[in-house]
Amino acid sequence: MNKTQLLDFKQEALHHLTKELLPFWENRCVDLANGGYLTHFDKDGNDSGEDEKSLIAQTRTVFTFSSAHRAGYGDGRFAAIARHGVDFLLEKMWDNEHGGFYWLMNRKGEVLIDEKIVYGHSFAIYALSEYTLATGDPRGLEYAEKVFDQLQIFAADTHFGGYFEMFHRNWTLKGPGSAGGDRKTLDAHMHLMEAFTTLYEASQKEIHRRTLLEIIDLLTTKIMHPIYGTGIPQFWADWRVAPQIKFDIIWGWDRFSEDGLKSAAEDNTSYGHNVEFAWLLMHALDVLQLPYETQREQLLKSFNHAVAHGIDWEFGGVYVEGSHFGEVYDREKEFWQQAEVLIGMLDAYRVFKNDDYLKAYATTHRFVFDHMIAHEVGEWKPLLTRQGEPIWTHMSHSWKVNYHSVRAMIQSIVRLDKVLALEH
Protein backbone atom coordinates (compact mmCIF):
# COMPACT_ATOMS: atom_id res chain seq x y z
CA MET A 1 0.00 0.00 0.00
CA ASN A 2 1.49 3.32 -0.99
CA LYS A 3 1.62 6.63 0.83
CA THR A 4 -1.03 8.19 -1.42
CA GLN A 5 -3.58 5.54 -0.41
CA LEU A 6 -2.84 6.12 3.27
CA LEU A 7 -3.23 9.88 2.82
CA ASP A 8 -6.56 9.28 1.07
CA PHE A 9 -7.76 7.14 3.99
CA LYS A 10 -6.76 9.88 6.43
CA GLN A 11 -8.50 12.58 4.41
CA GLU A 12 -11.70 10.51 4.22
CA ALA A 13 -11.63 9.97 7.97
CA LEU A 14 -10.93 13.64 8.70
CA HIS A 15 -13.72 14.83 6.41
CA HIS A 16 -16.21 12.39 7.92
CA LEU A 17 -15.22 13.31 11.48
CA THR A 18 -15.28 17.09 11.08
CA LYS A 19 -17.98 17.59 8.42
CA GLU A 20 -20.45 14.78 9.20
CA LEU A 21 -19.99 12.92 12.48
CA LEU A 22 -19.16 15.60 15.05
CA PRO A 23 -21.67 18.06 13.54
CA PHE A 24 -24.37 15.36 13.75
CA TRP A 25 -23.92 15.22 17.51
CA GLU A 26 -23.15 18.87 18.19
CA ASN A 27 -26.33 19.97 16.44
CA ARG A 28 -28.68 17.43 18.06
CA CYS A 29 -27.69 16.03 21.40
CA VAL A 30 -27.59 18.89 23.91
CA ASP A 31 -30.81 18.94 25.96
CA LEU A 32 -31.14 22.58 26.94
CA ALA A 33 -34.49 22.01 28.66
CA ASN A 34 -33.57 19.20 31.06
CA GLY A 35 -29.79 18.88 31.01
CA GLY A 36 -27.71 16.02 29.72
CA TYR A 37 -28.01 14.65 26.22
CA LEU A 38 -30.65 13.45 23.82
CA THR A 39 -29.41 10.15 22.39
CA HIS A 40 -32.28 8.61 20.38
CA PHE A 41 -32.36 9.47 16.69
CA ASP A 42 -34.05 7.74 13.76
CA LYS A 43 -32.62 6.92 10.32
CA ASP A 44 -32.98 10.55 9.23
CA GLY A 45 -31.35 11.93 12.35
CA ASN A 46 -34.61 13.12 13.91
CA ASP A 47 -35.36 12.77 17.62
CA SER A 48 -37.21 9.44 17.87
CA GLY A 49 -38.80 10.39 21.17
CA GLU A 50 -37.80 7.63 23.59
CA ASP A 51 -38.14 9.06 27.07
CA GLU A 52 -34.90 7.84 28.58
CA LYS A 53 -31.40 8.88 29.49
CA SER A 54 -29.15 5.94 30.25
CA LEU A 55 -25.93 5.99 32.21
CA ILE A 56 -24.19 4.31 29.30
CA ALA A 57 -25.30 6.88 26.69
CA GLN A 58 -24.71 9.91 28.93
CA THR A 59 -21.20 8.84 29.97
CA ARG A 60 -20.21 7.81 26.47
CA THR A 61 -21.27 11.20 25.12
CA VAL A 62 -19.26 12.96 27.82
CA PHE A 63 -16.29 10.86 26.70
CA THR A 64 -16.89 11.64 23.03
CA PHE A 65 -16.88 15.41 23.42
CA SER A 66 -14.06 15.36 25.98
CA SER A 67 -11.87 13.23 23.73
CA ALA A 68 -12.66 15.34 20.68
CA HIS A 69 -11.71 18.50 22.57
CA ARG A 70 -8.54 16.85 23.89
CA ALA A 71 -7.60 15.83 20.34
CA GLY A 72 -7.86 19.44 19.18
CA TYR A 73 -11.27 19.60 17.53
CA GLY A 74 -14.14 22.04 18.05
CA ASP A 75 -12.36 25.28 19.01
CA GLY A 76 -13.47 24.89 22.62
CA ARG A 77 -17.14 24.20 21.85
CA PHE A 78 -16.82 20.52 22.68
CA ALA A 79 -15.44 21.24 26.15
CA ALA A 80 -18.61 23.17 26.92
CA ILE A 81 -20.80 20.33 25.63
CA ALA A 82 -18.86 17.84 27.75
CA ARG A 83 -19.29 20.05 30.82
CA HIS A 84 -23.04 20.17 30.16
CA GLY A 85 -23.15 16.37 30.35
CA VAL A 86 -20.98 16.19 33.46
CA ASP A 87 -23.33 18.61 35.20
CA PHE A 88 -26.26 16.27 34.53
CA LEU A 89 -24.34 13.20 35.66
CA LEU A 90 -23.29 14.74 38.96
CA GLU A 91 -26.51 16.63 39.74
CA LYS A 92 -29.10 14.08 38.57
CA MET A 93 -27.60 10.62 38.08
CA TRP A 94 -25.36 10.40 41.15
CA ASP A 95 -26.93 8.62 44.14
CA ASN A 96 -26.15 10.85 47.12
CA GLU A 97 -27.35 8.23 49.61
CA HIS A 98 -25.59 5.07 48.47
CA GLY A 99 -23.01 6.36 46.02
CA GLY A 100 -22.62 5.40 42.39
CA PHE A 101 -24.77 6.30 39.41
CA TYR A 102 -28.33 5.22 38.64
CA TRP A 103 -28.68 3.07 35.55
CA LEU A 104 -31.62 4.75 33.78
CA MET A 105 -33.57 8.01 34.00
CA ASN A 106 -36.25 9.69 31.94
CA ARG A 107 -35.48 12.85 30.02
CA LYS A 108 -36.41 15.06 32.95
CA GLY A 109 -33.87 13.31 35.17
CA GLU A 110 -36.29 11.18 37.21
CA VAL A 111 -34.99 7.71 38.13
CA LEU A 112 -36.45 4.78 36.16
CA ILE A 113 -33.97 2.04 37.16
CA ASP A 114 -31.95 2.66 40.32
CA GLU A 115 -29.66 -0.38 40.03
CA LYS A 116 -25.87 -0.12 40.07
CA ILE A 117 -24.37 -1.84 37.03
CA VAL A 118 -20.57 -2.12 36.89
CA TYR A 119 -20.51 -1.93 33.08
CA GLY A 120 -22.05 1.54 33.29
CA HIS A 121 -19.68 2.57 36.07
CA SER A 122 -16.68 1.57 33.95
CA PHE A 123 -17.78 4.19 31.44
CA ALA A 124 -18.33 6.72 34.20
CA ILE A 125 -14.69 6.32 35.27
CA TYR A 126 -13.52 6.41 31.64
CA ALA A 127 -15.54 9.48 30.67
CA LEU A 128 -14.95 11.52 33.82
CA SER A 129 -11.20 10.85 33.76
CA GLU A 130 -11.04 11.83 30.09
CA TYR A 131 -13.06 14.96 30.89
CA THR A 132 -10.51 16.14 33.48
CA LEU A 133 -7.59 15.31 31.17
CA ALA A 134 -9.30 17.32 28.40
CA THR A 135 -10.57 20.33 30.36
CA GLY A 136 -8.74 20.48 33.68
CA ASP A 137 -12.06 20.54 35.57
CA PRO A 138 -11.23 18.63 38.78
CA ARG A 139 -14.79 17.37 39.26
CA GLY A 140 -14.29 14.68 36.65
CA LEU A 141 -11.34 13.03 38.38
CA GLU A 142 -12.96 13.54 41.79
CA TYR A 143 -16.01 11.50 40.81
CA ALA A 144 -14.01 8.99 38.78
CA GLU A 145 -12.05 8.24 41.94
CA LYS A 146 -15.25 8.03 43.97
CA VAL A 147 -16.62 5.41 41.56
CA PHE A 148 -13.32 3.51 41.64
CA ASP A 149 -13.47 3.44 45.44
CA GLN A 150 -17.09 2.22 45.38
CA LEU A 151 -16.11 -0.64 43.11
CA GLN A 152 -13.25 -1.70 45.38
CA ILE A 153 -15.55 -1.68 48.41
CA PHE A 154 -18.68 -3.30 46.97
CA ALA A 155 -17.90 -5.02 43.66
CA ALA A 156 -14.38 -6.46 43.94
CA ASP A 157 -14.27 -10.23 44.45
CA THR A 158 -11.47 -10.56 47.00
CA HIS A 159 -11.56 -14.37 46.79
CA PHE A 160 -11.49 -15.24 43.08
CA GLY A 161 -10.45 -11.85 41.70
CA GLY A 162 -12.21 -9.51 39.30
CA TYR A 163 -15.55 -7.82 39.90
CA PHE A 164 -19.13 -8.82 40.38
CA GLU A 165 -21.27 -6.76 38.02
CA MET A 166 -24.97 -6.50 38.88
CA PHE A 167 -26.14 -4.75 42.05
CA HIS A 168 -29.25 -3.29 43.62
CA ARG A 169 -29.28 0.41 44.48
CA ASN A 170 -27.63 -0.16 47.87
CA TRP A 171 -24.84 -2.26 46.32
CA THR A 172 -26.17 -5.61 47.48
CA LEU A 173 -25.50 -8.25 44.85
CA LYS A 174 -28.39 -9.26 42.59
CA GLY A 175 -29.55 -12.84 42.26
CA PRO A 176 -28.30 -15.59 39.94
CA GLY A 177 -29.19 -16.38 36.34
CA SER A 178 -30.59 -13.57 34.20
CA ALA A 179 -30.22 -11.12 37.11
CA GLY A 180 -26.49 -11.58 36.57
CA GLY A 181 -25.31 -11.69 40.16
CA ASP A 182 -23.47 -14.99 39.72
CA ARG A 183 -21.68 -14.10 36.46
CA LYS A 184 -18.59 -12.22 35.37
CA THR A 185 -18.06 -11.03 31.80
CA LEU A 186 -15.28 -10.19 29.39
CA ASP A 187 -17.22 -7.07 28.42
CA ALA A 188 -17.25 -5.44 31.85
CA HIS A 189 -13.66 -6.38 32.71
CA MET A 190 -12.28 -5.19 29.37
CA HIS A 191 -14.00 -1.84 29.85
CA LEU A 192 -12.70 -1.65 33.42
CA MET A 193 -9.19 -2.01 31.98
CA GLU A 194 -10.00 0.83 29.59
CA ALA A 195 -11.37 2.91 32.48
CA PHE A 196 -8.50 2.22 34.87
CA THR A 197 -6.02 3.16 32.10
CA THR A 198 -7.50 6.64 31.73
CA LEU A 199 -7.98 6.99 35.49
CA TYR A 200 -4.30 6.25 36.08
CA GLU A 201 -3.33 8.61 33.26
CA ALA A 202 -5.29 11.36 35.01
CA SER A 203 -4.40 10.62 38.65
CA GLN A 204 -0.94 9.04 38.49
CA LYS A 205 -1.81 7.31 41.78
CA GLU A 206 -0.09 4.04 42.63
CA ILE A 207 -3.37 2.36 43.65
CA HIS A 208 -4.79 3.00 40.18
CA ARG A 209 -1.63 1.70 38.51
CA ARG A 210 -1.67 -1.44 40.63
CA THR A 211 -5.34 -2.13 39.95
CA LEU A 212 -4.79 -1.64 36.21
CA LEU A 213 -1.94 -4.18 36.27
CA GLU A 214 -4.14 -6.61 38.21
CA ILE A 215 -6.98 -6.44 35.70
CA ILE A 216 -4.59 -6.84 32.76
CA ASP A 217 -3.25 -9.99 34.41
CA LEU A 218 -6.79 -11.24 35.01
CA LEU A 219 -7.83 -10.63 31.41
CA THR A 220 -4.79 -12.32 29.92
CA THR A 221 -4.73 -15.34 32.27
CA LYS A 222 -8.43 -16.01 33.01
CA ILE A 223 -10.65 -14.35 30.41
CA MET A 224 -8.81 -14.88 27.13
CA HIS A 225 -8.80 -18.42 25.74
CA PRO A 226 -5.68 -20.32 26.90
CA ILE A 227 -4.96 -21.67 23.40
CA TYR A 228 -6.43 -19.22 20.89
CA GLY A 229 -6.05 -15.99 22.88
CA THR A 230 -9.64 -15.05 22.05
CA GLY A 231 -12.16 -13.56 24.46
CA ILE A 232 -14.53 -15.84 26.36
CA PRO A 233 -17.80 -13.93 27.00
CA GLN A 234 -19.12 -15.20 30.37
CA PHE A 235 -17.86 -16.93 33.50
CA TRP A 236 -19.06 -18.14 36.86
CA ALA A 237 -17.67 -16.32 39.89
CA ASP A 238 -14.73 -18.74 40.14
CA TRP A 239 -13.77 -18.14 36.47
CA ARG A 240 -15.09 -21.40 35.10
CA VAL A 241 -16.57 -20.80 31.64
CA ALA A 242 -20.34 -20.25 31.85
CA PRO A 243 -22.96 -20.58 29.09
CA GLN A 244 -23.62 -17.22 27.51
CA ILE A 245 -27.05 -16.03 28.64
CA LYS A 246 -29.12 -12.88 28.24
CA PHE A 247 -29.22 -10.64 31.31
CA ASP A 248 -32.23 -8.63 32.50
CA ILE A 249 -30.13 -5.51 31.99
CA ILE A 250 -28.27 -5.99 28.75
CA TRP A 251 -26.03 -4.15 26.34
CA GLY A 252 -25.74 -4.80 22.67
CA TRP A 253 -27.28 -8.30 22.69
CA ASP A 254 -29.98 -8.83 20.15
CA ARG A 255 -29.61 -12.26 18.57
CA PHE A 256 -30.66 -14.72 21.25
CA SER A 257 -32.81 -17.82 21.11
CA GLU A 258 -36.16 -17.70 22.86
CA ASP A 259 -34.75 -19.39 25.97
CA GLY A 260 -32.23 -16.55 26.39
CA LEU A 261 -29.26 -18.78 25.58
CA LYS A 262 -26.88 -17.93 22.78
CA SER A 263 -26.12 -20.53 20.11
CA ALA A 264 -22.79 -22.28 20.74
CA ALA A 265 -22.90 -20.53 24.11
CA GLU A 266 -19.66 -22.00 25.42
CA ASP A 267 -17.63 -21.70 22.21
CA ASN A 268 -18.29 -18.17 21.07
CA THR A 269 -16.04 -15.15 20.59
CA SER A 270 -16.41 -11.65 19.14
CA TYR A 271 -13.84 -10.58 16.55
CA GLY A 272 -14.52 -6.95 17.39
CA HIS A 273 -14.00 -7.48 21.10
CA ASN A 274 -10.75 -9.33 20.51
CA VAL A 275 -9.27 -6.54 18.41
CA GLU A 276 -10.65 -3.86 20.73
CA PHE A 277 -9.09 -5.66 23.69
CA ALA A 278 -5.74 -5.82 21.92
CA TRP A 279 -5.50 -2.13 21.06
CA LEU A 280 -6.81 -1.10 24.49
CA LEU A 281 -4.14 -3.33 26.03
CA MET A 282 -1.51 -1.58 23.90
CA HIS A 283 -2.82 1.79 25.07
CA ALA A 284 -2.70 0.61 28.69
CA LEU A 285 0.91 -0.45 28.22
CA ASP A 286 1.69 2.99 26.76
CA VAL A 287 0.18 4.72 29.81
CA LEU A 288 1.99 2.32 32.15
CA GLN A 289 5.21 2.92 30.18
CA LEU A 290 5.68 -0.81 29.63
CA PRO A 291 6.91 -2.38 26.37
CA TYR A 292 4.48 -4.14 24.04
CA GLU A 293 6.86 -7.08 24.12
CA THR A 294 5.52 -8.00 27.58
CA GLN A 295 2.21 -8.95 25.91
CA ARG A 296 3.47 -9.87 22.44
CA GLU A 297 1.96 -13.37 22.32
CA GLN A 298 -1.47 -12.21 23.47
CA LEU A 299 -1.53 -9.28 21.05
CA LEU A 300 -0.57 -11.39 18.06
CA LYS A 301 -3.16 -14.05 18.89
CA SER A 302 -5.91 -11.42 19.17
CA PHE A 303 -5.02 -9.72 15.90
CA ASN A 304 -4.22 -12.87 13.92
CA HIS A 305 -7.45 -14.66 14.84
CA ALA A 306 -9.48 -11.71 13.57
CA VAL A 307 -7.49 -11.48 10.33
CA ALA A 308 -7.76 -15.22 9.70
CA HIS A 309 -11.44 -15.70 10.59
CA GLY A 310 -13.23 -12.37 11.20
CA ILE A 311 -12.32 -10.23 8.19
CA ASP A 312 -14.60 -10.64 5.19
CA TRP A 313 -12.07 -10.56 2.37
CA GLU A 314 -14.82 -10.82 -0.27
CA PHE A 315 -17.25 -8.06 0.75
CA GLY A 316 -15.14 -6.13 3.23
CA GLY A 317 -15.60 -5.39 6.92
CA VAL A 318 -15.58 -7.71 9.91
CA TYR A 319 -18.09 -10.38 10.92
CA VAL A 320 -19.90 -10.35 14.28
CA GLU A 321 -18.70 -13.56 15.93
CA GLY A 322 -17.65 -17.17 15.64
CA SER A 323 -15.93 -20.05 17.40
CA HIS A 324 -12.55 -19.87 19.06
CA PHE A 325 -11.06 -22.37 16.61
CA GLY A 326 -12.30 -20.50 13.54
CA GLU A 327 -15.85 -21.26 12.36
CA VAL A 328 -17.88 -18.10 11.64
CA TYR A 329 -21.33 -18.10 13.28
CA ASP A 330 -22.65 -14.65 12.37
CA ARG A 331 -21.67 -12.95 9.09
CA GLU A 332 -23.65 -9.76 9.60
CA LYS A 333 -21.79 -6.48 9.98
CA GLU A 334 -22.40 -4.45 13.12
CA PHE A 335 -21.17 -0.88 13.55
CA TRP A 336 -18.98 -1.20 16.62
CA GLN A 337 -16.89 -4.15 15.48
CA GLN A 338 -15.95 -2.21 12.33
CA ALA A 339 -14.95 0.79 14.45
CA GLU A 340 -12.66 -1.18 16.73
CA VAL A 341 -11.02 -3.10 13.89
CA LEU A 342 -10.10 0.19 12.18
CA ILE A 343 -8.11 1.31 15.23
CA GLY A 344 -6.72 -2.10 16.11
CA MET A 345 -5.42 -3.07 12.70
CA LEU A 346 -3.57 0.22 12.34
CA ASP A 347 -1.96 -0.38 15.73
CA ALA A 348 -1.11 -3.95 14.74
CA TYR A 349 0.57 -2.80 11.52
CA ARG A 350 2.36 0.08 13.25
CA VAL A 351 4.02 -2.28 15.74
CA PHE A 352 4.32 -5.64 13.97
CA LYS A 353 4.75 -4.44 10.34
CA ASN A 354 2.67 -7.30 8.87
CA ASP A 355 1.03 -6.18 5.61
CA ASP A 356 -2.01 -8.38 6.34
CA TYR A 357 -2.97 -5.97 9.12
CA LEU A 358 -2.91 -2.99 6.79
CA LYS A 359 -4.96 -4.92 4.24
CA ALA A 360 -7.49 -5.75 6.98
CA TYR A 361 -7.69 -2.06 7.85
CA ALA A 362 -8.15 -1.11 4.20
CA THR A 363 -10.97 -3.56 3.49
CA THR A 364 -12.78 -2.54 6.69
CA HIS A 365 -12.30 1.18 5.98
CA ARG A 366 -13.73 0.76 2.50
CA PHE A 367 -16.74 -1.19 3.78
CA VAL A 368 -17.46 1.42 6.47
CA PHE A 369 -17.22 4.41 4.13
CA ASP A 370 -19.11 2.78 1.26
CA HIS A 371 -21.86 1.01 3.20
CA MET A 372 -22.02 1.72 6.94
CA ILE A 373 -21.87 5.51 7.10
CA ALA A 374 -25.09 7.33 6.26
CA HIS A 375 -23.17 10.24 4.75
CA GLU A 376 -26.30 12.28 4.06
CA VAL A 377 -27.17 12.16 7.79
CA GLY A 378 -23.72 11.95 9.37
CA GLU A 379 -23.73 8.86 11.61
CA TRP A 380 -23.28 5.12 11.10
CA LYS A 381 -26.00 2.56 10.45
CA PRO A 382 -26.13 0.01 13.27
CA LEU A 383 -26.41 -3.35 11.48
CA LEU A 384 -25.96 -4.50 7.88
CA THR A 385 -26.06 -7.75 5.97
CA ARG A 386 -22.80 -9.32 4.95
CA GLN A 387 -23.10 -7.55 1.58
CA GLY A 388 -23.82 -4.17 3.20
CA GLU A 389 -27.60 -3.85 3.01
CA PRO A 390 -29.25 -2.22 6.07
CA ILE A 391 -30.99 -4.47 8.61
CA TRP A 392 -31.46 -1.82 11.30
CA THR A 393 -31.49 1.82 10.30
CA HIS A 394 -31.66 4.06 13.41
CA MET A 395 -28.76 6.44 13.95
CA SER A 396 -28.70 6.25 17.75
CA HIS A 397 -30.29 4.87 20.90
CA SER A 398 -29.03 4.03 24.41
CA TRP A 399 -26.76 1.26 23.11
CA LYS A 400 -25.58 2.95 19.94
CA VAL A 401 -24.44 6.49 20.44
CA ASN A 402 -21.18 8.16 19.41
CA TYR A 403 -18.41 6.48 21.39
CA HIS A 404 -17.34 3.85 18.84
CA SER A 405 -17.78 5.91 15.68
CA VAL A 406 -16.16 9.15 16.86
CA ARG A 407 -13.36 7.38 18.70
CA ALA A 408 -12.63 5.26 15.63
CA MET A 409 -12.16 8.35 13.47
CA ILE A 410 -10.08 10.30 16.02
CA GLN A 411 -7.85 7.36 16.82
CA SER A 412 -7.54 6.18 13.19
CA ILE A 413 -6.29 9.62 12.18
CA VAL A 414 -3.68 9.54 14.98
CA ARG A 415 -2.53 6.08 13.87
CA LEU A 416 -2.55 6.88 10.17
CA ASP A 417 -0.21 9.77 10.94
CA LYS A 418 2.09 7.35 12.78
CA VAL A 419 1.99 4.83 9.94
CA LEU A 420 2.67 7.60 7.40
CA ALA A 421 5.71 8.64 9.44
CA LEU A 422 7.00 5.07 9.17
CA GLU A 423 6.66 5.17 5.38
CA HIS A 424 9.21 7.98 4.96
Q: Which residues pair with 24 in a beta bridge?
A: none
Going from the C-alpha of 378 to that of each of 143, 195, 287, 353, 406, the distances in angstroms are: 32, 28, 32, 33, 11
User: How far apart are the C-alpha atoms of 413 and 101, rounded to whole Å?
Assistant: 33
CB 348 within 8 A of CB 420: no
How many other CB atoms sit within 10 Å of the CB of residue 344? 32
Residue 33 CA from chain centroid, whole number: 29
> pLDDT under 50 in the chain at which residues?
256-257
Please say whether the dihedral angle defined by the alpha carbons of residues 129, 131, 133 and 138, taken in this order, is positive or negative: negative
Q: What angle do CA 236, 327, 222 make, to 5 degrees?
A: 25
Q: Helix H segments across 1-52?
A: 3-15, 22-26
Q: How much is the pLDDT for 260?
A: 54
Residue 341 CA from chain centroid, whole number: 12
Can you list the domains of the chain with their CATH numbers? 54-362 (1.50.10.10)
Q: How much is the pLDDT for 1?
A: 80
pLDDT in tens, 213-256: 999 999 999 999 999 999 999 999 999 999 989 899 875 555 54
Q: How much is the pLDDT for 423?
A: 77
Nearby residues of 411 by Cβ (< 8 Å), 6 or more positions away: 343
Q: How much is the pLDDT for 250?
A: 74
Nearby residues of 1 by Cβ (< 8 Å), 6 or more positions away: 355, 358, 359, 362
- One-letter amino acid of 121: H
